Amino acid sequence: MDIQTLKKQQQKVTLLRAEGKYKETIKESYKLLNLGNELNDYKSILTAHINNAASFYSIGAIEDAFQSIDAYTEVCNDHGDVADTLNLYNVLFLLHDYNKEYGKAKETLSKTIQLGKEIEKYNIVSNAYSNYSHVSILEECYDVGLQNGMMGLEMAKLHKPESRILQIRVMLNIAQSHIGLGNLDDANRIIEEIMADPILESFVREKSQSYILLGNWYAKRELFKEAFESYTVAKELVESYNDIYLLKTIQLERSKMCEQMNDIQLGYQVQKEYISLLDEITNRELTLTALKLDIKHSISAMKRKATTDFLTGLYNRDYLETTTDNWLKQASVNDESIACIVFDIDSFKLINDEFGHLFGDEVIKQVSQSCSSIIQDNELMGRYGGDEFVVILPNTSIEKGEIRAKQIQNTVRSMKISKDGRNISLSLSIGVADNSGGNIKTFLELFHAADEGLYKAKQNGKNQVVSTN
């Protein structure tokens, strides 16, 4: 695996999310995550987690999004730069805003503002102030919304090269804050400036928001017919980019205006449109629910593939090492004993040489099935490689480990395997060790201690259990 392949995978993930292909993004992000872990490329790991978080957010899988953010945060704290931290804050804001956790949203925005100012990323600072203004408006704190909007506009003007649309995005919130405060003349002046700007023709979303704003201004002045007309223009614009949730808000406002105008016929038509929109929202949410389930199944399959051995279905070496390391750390704190059993099939090479590797694979599978049938839920069994297996026993002394090893040995001895009419007897050589009262703190140390016992069992004639301390 080379760096160029890694870069291409990063670009693929980013492009898929930009295209709104969230299922594909999540699948490819997990591939990128595995590649990044293999090469210790932290940028790839961060890219995978942040795109997963944004994709989960986009399909409404908020719990999974937060889990991706937790993973991103852990890596970012140790290996990320300022840009990575800002990415974290941006996604966190979206999640808190989605959950209507406005206190946490504002806390995240404050961090974004502080960090953005430190590195003079005035576009990011401006957006953060604008979002802070937006949240304050939702809370009906219009004075705070106005204050943050004005700060956002100041930051937008510092951004180089000049970005008029960046300024307009903040001005929309400033005008809405003025409407909430009853400063209708000030609001009107800003609305006129926004709507006269030709740049809106290139930004349909902002153009639709300006007409919603104008509708709000008319409604505040009780000019209900004009407000209805403005909302209708906004509706037509929003339909062009199919934001059905914003359409729902607009249709509610149009219905209110019909009531205020006492126009029953028009109100009936708007209600029909609204009901049709609700049906579309329901269908979309059902589709997203199905997509979430599909993604969860795909993720489960990918996780199983990443943690299990392809031949036996047992845990693989990586999972054994990671899980045992965690158990050993906890055992060291709690003064608990952990036993390790390492075994392989005696004279397995002769079986391969005489009957072929396909039959050898079948022997490995049957041995793994027989042994795993006596492994308890709190115990861990995996294939280390070839015909070598590992069993980890929590809260188990070396003496009890020896007893479990002999149970495994007897299970394999009693197996009946035949090939071409010949019965084949199997036996195991087994090594057993424990964590030496907490002195052994890693899987590799524990494995090597038990593997020494396995080596001695082979030297002593095979088909036996040897313990090492």
- DSSP one-letter string for 232-249: HHHHHHHHHHT-HHHHHH
pLDDT at position 306: 67
* Cα distance between residue 89 and residue 84, in whole Å: 9
pLDDT at position 300: 65
Other beta carbons within 10 Å of 299: 15
pLDDT at position 437: 80
Measured CA distances, 271 to 155, 212, 218, 250, 285 (Å):
42, 19, 21, 12, 21
pLDDT at position 17: 87
Within 308-431, residue ranges assigned H as helices are 317-334, 348-355, 357-372, 398-413
Q: What are the sequence ranges of the domains in the chain?
A: 3-293, 317-467
Give 1's pLDDT tier (boundaries 50, 70, 90): low
Q: Buried (b) or exposed (e) across 419-429, using 16+ Cβ within 10 A?
A: eeeeeeebebb
> Measured on CA atoms in the order 354, 360, 362, 368, is the torsion positive or negative?
positive
Q: Which residue has the tokens 């795109």?
A: 51
Measured CA distances, 151 to 117, 168, 293 (Å):
12, 13, 43
- Region 229-258: what's the mean pLDDT? 93
Q: Bigger pLDDT: 72 or 469?
A: 72
Contact assessment for residue 341 and residue 372, using Cβ atoms and an 8 Å cutoff: no
pLDDT at 303 over 70: no
The mean-pLDDT minimum among 274-278, 336-340, 426-430 falls in 274-278
* Cα distance between residue 9 and residue 3, in whole Å: 10
pLDDT at 449 over 60: yes
pLDDT tens digits, 339-397: 999 999 999 999 999 999 999 999 999 999 999 999 998 999 999 989 999 999 999 99
Within 308-355, residue ranges assigned H as helices are 317-334, 348-355
Q: Bigger pLDDT: 242 or 166?
A: 166
- Region 32-46: what's the mean pLDDT? 87
Q: Bigger pLDDT: 348 or 34?
A: 348
pLDDT at position 406: 95
- Region 41-46: what's the mean pLDDT? 92
Give 64's pLDDT tier (boundaries 50, 70, 90): confident
pLDDT at position 287: 74
Give 421's pLDDT tier (boundaries 50, 70, 90): confident
- Please name every residue paired with 424 in a beta bridge, in sequence order, or none if there are none: 417
The number of angstroms, rounded, from the C-alpha of 2 to the middle of its chain's C-alpha atoms is 25
Going by their DSSP bridges, the two strands 417-419 and 388-393 should be labelled as: unpaired
pLDDT at position 194: 97
pLDDT at position 138: 95
- Region 424-429: what's the mean pLDDT? 93
* Cα distance between residue 7 and residue 13, in whole Å: 10
Strands, E assignment, 245-328 = none
What angle, 0 to 180 degrees and rounded to 10, lies between the N-to-C axes of helices 82-98 and 42-58? 20
pLDDT tens digits, 92-128: 998 899 889 999 999 999 999 999 999 999 999 999 9
- Please name every residue paired with 285 in a beta bridge, in sequence order, or none if there are none: none
- Region 136-144: what's the mean pLDDT? 97
pLDDT at position 299: 66
Contact assessment for residue 35 and residue 41, using Cβ atoms and an 8 Å cutoff: yes
Contact assessment for residue 291 and residue 22, using Cβ atoms and an 8 Å cutoff: yes
77-81, 155-159, 237-241, 355-359 — which one is most confidently predicted on average? 155-159
From 3.30.565.10, 3.40.50.10800, 3.40.50.10380, 3.30.70.270, which CATH number describes the 317-467 domain?
3.30.70.270
The mean-pLDDT minimum among 118-122, 310-314, 451-455 falls in 310-314
Q: What CATH number labels 3-293?
A: 1.25.40.10
pLDDT at 305 over 70: no
Other beta carbons within 10 Å of 292: 17
Report which DSSP code applies to 45: H
Contact assessment for residue 359 and residue 351, using Cβ atoms and an 8 Å cutoff: yes
- Region 82-90: what's the mean pLDDT? 90
Q: Which of 310, 327, 455 is nearest to 383 (CA)?
A: 310
Other beta carbons within 10 Å of 229: 17
- Region 73-85: what's the mean pLDDT? 90
pLDDT at position 347: 93
Give 436's pLDDT tier (boundaries 50, 70, 90): confident
pLDDT, averaged across the chain: 91
